Structure 1
Amino acid sequence: TNYIDITEDDAILQLSNYSFDGSVFDIFGALLNGASLVLIEKETVLNTHELAEVIEKERVSVMFITTALFNTLADINIGCLAKLRKILFGGERASIPHVRKVLDHAGRDKLI
C-alpha cells in the first residue's frame, strides 16, 4: 500500500471475519511484510474489555477497526490505543469528538 508501511516489527490484530474484505489488509498485510498476525476469537471481539487486554498483552501495533468499535474503545479503554503505531478505521462517518479524544491521548500521526 502507499498509505502505511508494515514491517517485521509490527503485530497486526485481525478483527475482521476472513469473509469480510477488511481481513485482506490484516492477513496479507502481516504475512507479506513479515509482521505478526494476532488472531482472536469472535467472543473477544465482542467483549471490549477482553479486546483491550489483548491489544495491550500482544503489543498490537497496527489494526484496522470499524468506526463504531474505535469509538467504543475510545470511550471504554482509551489506554489500550496509546501504544499502537497506526490505527486504521472506517466503514462509517468518523466521530470528531472520538477522533480528537484519541489524538489527544495517543498522539498525532496514528490515525488513518
Structure 2
Amino acid sequence: MSSALQFELFRPSILAPADDDGPRIAARAAERGLTRQRPSRPPLEVVHDDERVAVPASGPQGGPTLNDLVVGVWEDLAAHRTAACPACGESMAPRYGSGPAPVGGRCTGCGTTIA
C-alpha cells in the first residue's frame, strides 16, 4: 500500500502586488492630502554618437590623467620606493603587510592612503 502526500505551496512575490489596491490607495491618499504635484521636465536632447569626436584621454592642458597618476604612484610603491602623493605632493611611503611586498602606501603630509 502506498500513499502520496501532496502540498500546495504558494508564496507571493514581494514585487508583485497581492491585490489590486492601487486605485483605492491613491484615492485615500488624495482624500487625506498626501499627494504632491511633480514638476514637469522638458524632454532631454539626444546626442548622436556620429557627431562626437574621439579625443584621447588626457588631463587639463594635455597633462596626465588620474589613472596615469595613480598607476605611477602604485608602481613606485610596489618597487619599494617613495612616491609623490597625488593629493598634496608630499612623499608617500610604502606600507607593508605580513609579506615582503608592499600592500599600499600612506602620505606623510596629508595622510592619504592607497591600497
TM-score (norm. length: structure 1) = 0.24
Larger relative helix fraction: 1
- Structure label with greater radius of gyration: 2
| TM-score, length-scaled by structure 2 | 0.23
